[in-house]
Chains A and B, each alone.
Chain A
């Protein structure tokens, strides 16, 4: 028997809502674990990404670590999917693009309500923020886009089952929404 397809997932500048929506497939997760093997994902303990057939990315690209993780996923995954509004077009976090990064940092860490010990964190352990939040297709090539904030469990299930069967992916009208 051929080895099961390997699936990895990651959350970049995301809220983990798309992962929760994935878990909303409920008991179908038992079918899913029969169909695939999970590699690095927030749902496993695996720290480094192996070679995978499918990578699911939630969240946009907001900091240097996001870029590094996303490029690693592109290198390791045959098929890479933008899951959710943030990965697709930057989403709500990209609303910070209305302001300069300096304005955002000053508001959060210096001038904001209830700030003690004002000062912008500068430990090298902390990844630097990018000037703007970007959709992931502006950093690496993306094979599929699954819109929604988050995409419904049914949309994710449609995608996974059609993809794993090697069929062209088509969604019923009610499964596609941008919100």
Chain B
């Protein structure tokens, strides 16, 4: 492994075919991300992994690493772009953290903390989306969905069930469920599915398990996500 590129001035080794994100994660360098999960193919939808390469902003999860690249992952300009992207995600949904069971162990919230976002600033959409509580073990609040398609990918590529898909265009894009009624309870979804455990927000939650962890001991209460890591890495603790 002799090839390297520079990430914030630090030499990062990589192998041909690796993305900037793959190589950075392997080297223990944090690049904020929401739709990226190394168990699944890169998606490139959330854009919070945006980095600067020679004045061009690209998503680290889809850009291939190449010899001699100089990548900016931490300048104030890059953090500002990420904050603006997060602010858009926050106003597009109803992210009422004080009333969300995922608060404190939510990747969307943790990345917002990491980038120093204090408020969403933009005009709120206040969408009126339904909550699907038809399944005996799992509830979906579509108001918190950020369309990362991790559940879509997990259900299709890991569970072999294709329970989820994204339907609609533009701002009308939304998560749909493959069942005759469109309800989760009528689908083949099970709480043991991979798709039940990959949501980076509070959109897909187990029923009857909320508020189990005392405040102060939740995943991101004491240290930022750059140190703690993804929710995924702590599955057995938080689920």
List chain A positions with a Cβ less than 8 A from chain B.
82, 85, 88-92, 94-95, 97-98, 132, 134-135, 137-138, 144-147, 149, 173-174, 176-179
CB distance from B215 to the nearest CB of A (A): 8
Task: Judge if B123 is at the interface, Cβ distance under 8 Å.
Answer: yes
**Interface SS majority for chain B:** loop
Q: Are B119 and A89 in contact (CB under 8 A)?
A: yes
Q: Is the CB of A145 within 8 A of B126?
A: no
- In the complex, A135 Cα to B122 Cα: how many Å? 10
- Contact, CB under 8 Å: B100 / A89: no
**Judging by beta carbons under 8 Å apart, are A146 and B118 in contact?**
yes
Q: How far is A89 from B93 in the complex, measured between Cα atoms in Å? A: 11
A90 pairs with B113, CB closer than 8 A: no
**A89-B90 in contact (CB<8A):** yes
- Please report the C-alpha to C-alpha distance between residue A95 and residue B97 in the assembled complex, in whole angstroms: 12
CB neighbours (8 Å) of B150 from chain A are none
Given that A132-B126, A173-B113 are known contacts, is A95 also in contact with B94, CB under 8 Å in the complex?
A: yes
From residue B69, how far is it (CB to closest CB) to chain A in Å? 30
Against A, the Cβ 8 Å flags (1 = close, 0 = not) of B76-98 are 00000000000000110011111
Question: How distant is the Cα of A174 from the Cα of B223 in the complex, in angstroms?
Answer: 8
User: Is B221 located at the chain interface by the 8 A CB criterion?
Assistant: yes
Tell me if A's interface is mostly helix, strand, loop or mixed.
mixed
- What string of 1s and 0s marks CB contacts (under 8 Å) between B117-135 and chain A? 0111101101010000000
How many residues of chain B are within 8 Å of chain A by beta carbon?
26
- Is B97 touching A178 in the complex (CB atoms < 8 A)? yes
Bound CA–CA A100/B121 (angstroms): 24
> Counting CB contacts under 8 A, is B19 at the interface?
no
Report yes or no: B124 in contact with A88, Cβ–Cβ below 8 A: no
Set of chain A residues within 8 Å of B128, measured between Cβ atoms = 97-98
Residue from the list A135, A149, A174, A176 in contact with B98, Cβ < 8 A: A149
Q: A138-B123, A147-B119, A179-B103 are in contact. List 17 more A-B contacts (CB 8 A).
A: A85-B96, A89-B91, A90-B124, A90-B126, A91-B96, A94-B96, A94-B126, A135-B119, A135-B120, A144-B118, A145-B118, A149-B98, A174-B222, A178-B95, A178-B103, A179-B97, A179-B100
Q: Is B73 an interface residue (CB 8 A)?
A: no
Would you call B210 an interface residue if the criterion is a C-beta within 8 Å of the partner chain's C-beta atoms?
A: no
Residues A88 and B100 in contact in the complex (CB < 8 Å), given A173-B223, A173-B224, A174-B221: no
Residue B200 at the A interface, CB < 8 A? no
Q: Tell me whether A92 and B99 are in contact (CB under 8 A).
A: yes
B interface with A by C-beta (< 8 Å): 90-91, 94-100, 103-104, 109, 112-113, 118-121, 123-124, 126, 128, 221-224
User: A16 to chain B: closest CB distance in Å?
Assistant: 15
Q: List 10 A-B contacts (CB under 8 A).
A: A88-B120, A89-B90, A91-B98, A95-B96, A132-B126, A134-B124, A149-B98, A173-B223, A177-B221, A178-B109
Which of B94, B104, B124, B223 is close to A135, meaning CB atoms less than 8 Å apart? B124
**Who on chain A is nearest to B224 by CB?**
A173
A178 and B98 within 8 A (CB): yes
Q: Which residue of A lies closest to B129 (CB)?
A: A98
Q: Which B residues are CB-close (under 8 A) to A147?
A: 118-119
Measured CB to CB, the nearest residue on chain B to A132 is B126
Please indicate the chain A residues that have their CB under 8 angstroms from the CB of B100 in the complex: 179
With a CB–CB cut-off of 8 A, which chain B residues contact A149?
Answer: 97-98
Instruction: Report yes or no: A95 in contact with B118, Cβ–Cβ below 8 A.
Output: no
Q: Give the complex CA separation of A171 and B69 in angstroms.
A: 34
CA distance A148 to B112 in the complex (A): 13
Task: Return chain A residues, CB-CB under 8 Å to B94.
Answer: 94-95, 97-98
Q: How far is the CB of A86 from chain B (nearest CB, A)?
A: 9
